[in-house]
Chains A and B, each alone.
With several copies, the nearest count.
Chain A
Amino acid sequence: MSEQNKANIKRPNLGVEIAGIKLRNPVMPASGTFGYGEEYAPFLDMEKIGAIVTKGLSLKPKAGNPTPRIAETVSGMLNAIGLQNVGIDAFIKHKMPYLRTVNTPVIANFFGNTLEEYGEVARRLNDIPEIAAAELNISCPNVKQGGIVFGTDPQAASEVVTLVRKNLQKPLIVKLTPNVTDITVVARAVEEAGADAISCINTLTGMSVDVHTRKPRIANTTGGLSGPAIRPVAVRMVHQVVQAVSVPVIGIGGIARPMDALEFLIVGATAVQVGTANFVDPTAMLTIIDGIEEFCIDEGIDDIHQLIGSLKL
């Protein structure tokens, strides 16, 4: 389309609402790939993206895993950062001052090592007025139940969401792990337990070996696989979850280009998160937002809701 035509055309409305918070567009970073926001401030205008999602926060600071923590794989990467983070207190003290200066909703991703910790972090988040919503990461091992991951067991997932829902006075997004037989069972469980929205997927558990040293390329042995390689799995799961629940779904997994984001919107995601692609191109989210807008114009769509869930089966 020529520049002139573009100027004449009404810009489509890209605004969406997730769990009661209004976003100027449906594109935000995925937790853990955007630091606490400030790290990427030199590269992109924070007031152009839909929301900011923080690194996963816990009650106490967490040191994370030994190194190597990352390894590149074919069209993807493995990471086992081990949820290193400054802890909720340091977050409030050192990271919120920057986030307060930005006119974009902030979503705090968080987790706990125990059920009680999940609840406690949720309570602490209530005290930060500038946090628009919380994203609950249930991909952590439930230490009490022998290390089984909360998010792989519908019962455990339901319990933790119920508890958090009780403690949290903000919209609650629950983030699901893809490492399950049937993601719709977990999705329905967390919806019933009070999730206002669901985000998926987190990383697929993977492993890679250095054949010369015969050691895993990640000190933790296994790590989470992310990046373009996992996109087909992510699109499938988002499609399934959208069919299974009635709360809005945020699509995540391997999004690097505008048309990747469009795939998720078409299967019914109300918004998307961009993860690994931020590392590859710090301005990826801006390119994606522009691309979505251009696609809408080309297809004669004046509101993004005409696109969301428009899959033809």
Chain B
Amino acid sequence: MQNYRTKIISNQEISPGYFRMKILAPGFGEKAHPGQFVMFRVQRSLPPLLRRPFGIFRTGFLPADCDGLPPKEFVEIVYKVVGSGTSIMADLHDGDRVELLGPLGNGFDCTSRQGEKILVGGGIGLVPLYMLAGELIANGCTVRLLMGGRTRDDIFAVTEFERLGVETFISTDDGSLGEEGLVTQVLERKLQKYPDAEVFSCGPLPMLGAVHSICAASQVPLQVSLEESMACGVGACLGCVVKGAGHTDENPSYLCTCTVGPVFKSQYLDWSALGQSDNSCGGCV
């Protein structure tokens, strides 16, 4: 991990409110694992004060320059405009200077190399699943991706996932794209069909909670990627903790989302606390 003082290559709206940003980052790709994230500094001046965490969508190289210079390496993030920081980000342009800390955190464990893998992504939670899908497929796994969103606007990168060789299943709350209904209903059906699958999920907390219940009931292994408010991203501030399984007031277990996570094996988390803590993160500065 490293602090990149770098610049934006491109920043485009890909669906209403969703943006893809490519950022120049030499040497980033070889260090990055699926499920890791970056701390992005929106601009040099205030506000916002703190960096914003974003999952790594993918890394890659731009085509080589015609003047024979080596191809440029980039990291790509996908973000949804939700508040002050992401609003400013939406106004950034190619060439604008930004800072990026990463790759950070513990990503998905892809060591189990065989069998069915089911990925469940809700809205912006699709982001870390792209690199994951790529790695799983490279490992020889069969990957099915259940994409959920409130409306069609929340579904993106379908073609790119399919190009990797992923079978995609789309569901939206309003039926504006794919099946009408919750992505978790699709998951239940798939698990009946593939009872030995391993599940990986990222998305809003209520969705993750439901995915956890379903997987626990089916005794299927699950890894989830969580979001918590973060100040440092490197384990120094202790602001981003979640309660681990078996946490009690007398025998507390707090795990840093930024270093132990953001990806956790679901059995190591205290799901009752996650449900109730109302840690919606966001909010007006």
Which residues in A have some Cβ–Cβ distance to B below 8 Å? Answer: 32-35, 39-40, 42-43, 55, 63-64, 66-77, 79, 81, 84, 208, 210-211, 213, 215, 217, 219, 227-228, 259, 276, 278-283
Contact = CB atoms under 8 A, between A and B. Distances in A.
B3 A32 contact: no
A280 B41 contact: yes
A132 B240 CA distance: 30
Interface in B220-253: 228-242, 252-253
B237 A32 contact: yes
Contacts of A213: 278, 280
B228 A67 contact: yes
Nearest to B231: A279
Contact of B238 (A69, A75, A227, A281): A69
Contacts of A217: 283
Nearest to A215: B278
A34 B236 contact: yes
Contact of A68 (B2, B50, B235, B281): B281
A79 B239 contact: yes
Given A68-B281, A84-B254, A279 B238 contact: no
Interface residues of B, number: 38
A73 B254 contact: no
B281 A81 contact: no
Contact of A42 (B2, B231, B283): B2
A276 B239 CA distance: 12
A228 B281 contact: no
B236 A39 contact: yes
13 contacts: A35-B234, A39-B234, A40-B234, A67-B241, A68-B229, A70-B229, A73-B285, A75-B49, A77-B50, A79-B237, A215-B278, A219-B277, A276-B49
B279 interface: yes
Q: Which 3 A/B pairs are nearest by Cβ-Cβ distance?
A: A63-B252, A35-B236, A70-B239
A67 B274 CA distance: 10
Contact of A228 (B46, B230, B280): B46
Contacts of B232: 33, 39, 278-279
Contact of B241 (A64, A211, A259, A281): A64
Contact of A43 (B2, B229, B238): B2
Nearest to B232: A279
Given A81-B238, A279-B237, A72 B48 contact: yes
Most interface-central of B1, B233, B238 (chain A CB within 10 A): B238
Nearest to A262: B284
Contacts of A283: 3
A76 B49 contact: yes
B239 A69 contact: yes
Nearest to B52: A72
Given A67-B277, A71-B283, A211-B284, A39 B235 contact: yes
